[in-house]
Amino acid sequence: MADEPTTAAGPFQTPLEQPGPKPRRLSRWLALLFLLLVLAIAGIGGYSLWMIQSVRGPASEITVVIPKGSGVRGAAAVLREAGVIDSTTLFLVASKITGADRKLKAGEYRIPPGSTMRGVLDLLRSGKTVVRRFTVAEGLSVRQVDALIRAEPALDGDPGPLPPEGRLLPETYHFSLGDSRAGIVARMRAAMDRNLATLWEKRAPNLPLQTPEQALILASIVEKETGVPAERPRIAGVFVNRLRAGMPLQSDPTIVYGIKGGEKLGRPILLSELQGDTPYNTYKFVGLPPTPIANPGLESLKAVLNPMETEDLYFVADGSGGHAFSKSYAEHQRNVQNWRALERQGAGR
């Protein structure tokens, strides 16, 4: 029986004849390894999501500025430096998970107290930057408005050449940090053009004004003549009556503009200046001056285009901040004497 084959493994058995793991068992190991990898990734992602939803930020409001071109890493550095976040790494991971990494917008932001990292990401992705306000008072000249615009540190760039006098609408304008000064000027000009056109269409009939520009000129004079809003329609009525009667307007603010070109005079008008030959001397020349003398507000424009119907031809300060109105020159002279008496009393105190 020595010649019969044996089933035992002998020293000369080839590798192909060795037993090994079955393919099905190997697939099970690979599947298990893949499952463990998925669970690990899910665990990291879940932990990150928990962190960005739960970890609270600053205890008080913080304002940050994300410069243009910062990218997500630059934004993370700014936020970390300001104390909004504790970990730039977590911020980068969170921005990647939420898809915000390529959607963050530059600008100035106010971070509310207790903001989560998710809240910070949502805010920077929304672009809801800090809204600033730039206010121009009625009655300023274009030179004075230009100086204000140049002095506003949150605006950027040069405002450009001075616009024509009277063409900037006094108002409060909203803007964001870094907006251009030229852009603010353009908005002010567009606002004046738009409102003047609208009000011109609604003007009272038979006004002695031939063009919107003439209405703008007269509105600028009304604006400079009174600081009492309720008086504007009545003062406009006085000037309209004078234009109809061919009388000179006799407005002191026009004299000042002819001398200073939109700056403050800083002293009383001299008699020689009342007799001067500037085209803005409405004591000497009948009719409107050649241009506005300031930037009038909406209420002065409305007053000029729908003035009070009155027989008044004169007005003078009454000592209370307003004016005394009169129909006749004799009555006006009495009002002038009363005003001078009040001036003397004030000088004697």
Q: Are 210 and 194 in contact (CB under 8 A)?
A: no
The segment with the largest mean pLDDT, out of 4-8, 35-39, 54-58, 332-336, is 332-336
Residue 30 has a pLDDT of 59
Q: What is the DSSP letter of 50?
A: H
Cα separation values, 310 from 238, 262, 322, Å: 7, 30, 17
The segment with the largest mean pLDDT, out of 54-63, 68-77, 117-126, 189-198, is 189-198
Q: At 342, is the pLDDT very low, low, confident or very high (cuts 50, 70, 90)?
A: confident
Residue 217 has a pLDDT of 98
Residue 319 has a pLDDT of 85
Of the candidates 142, 156, 157, 148, the residue with the CA atom closest to the CA atom of residue 108:
156
Q: At 16, is the pLDDT very low, low, confident or very high (cuts 50, 70, 90)?
A: very low
Residue 34 has a pLDDT of 53
**Overall fold of domain 54-126:** Dna Ligase; domain 1 (3.30.1490)
Instruction: Summarize pLDDT for 69-105 with one digit per residue, the tens.
Output: 999 999 999 999 999 998 898 899 889 888 888 899 9
Quote the CA–CA distance of 63 and 134 in Å, as a whole number.
Answer: 19
Residue 308 has a pLDDT of 97
What would the mean pLDDT of 162-184 be, rounded to a whole number? 97
What would the mean pLDDT of 23-34 be, rounded to a whole number? 56
Average pLDDT of the chain is 87
Of the candidates 164, 161, 186, the residue with the CA atom closest to the CA atom of residue 173:
186
How wide is the angle at C-alpha 184 spanned by C-alphas 182 and 185, nearest 5°?
65
Residue 46 has a pLDDT of 52
Q: Which residues contact 96 (CB under 8 A, 6 or more apart)?
A: none
Q: Which amino acid is at 256?
A: V
Q: At 107, is the pLDDT very low, low, confident or very high (cuts 50, 70, 90)?
A: very high
Residue 11 has a pLDDT of 37
Residue 227 has a pLDDT of 87
Domain boundaries, the chain: 54-126, 132-193, 210-348
What would the mean pLDDT of 200-206 be, rounded to a whole number? 96
Three-state DSSP state, 253: helix
pTM: 0.80
Q: Are 311 and 291 in contact (CB under 8 A)?
A: no
Q: At 52, is the pLDDT very low, low, confident or very high (cuts 50, 70, 90)?
A: low
Residue 51 has a pLDDT of 53
Of the candidates 238, 228, 237, the residue with the CA atom closest to the CA atom of residue 320:
228
Residue 154 has a pLDDT of 96
Three-state DSSP state, 347: helix
- pLDDT of 185 higher than 60: yes
Instruction: Summarize pLDDT for 251-263 with one digit per residue, the tens.
Output: 999 999 999 999 9
Of the candidates 139, 154, 53, 168, the residue with the CA atom closest to the CA atom of residue 107:
154
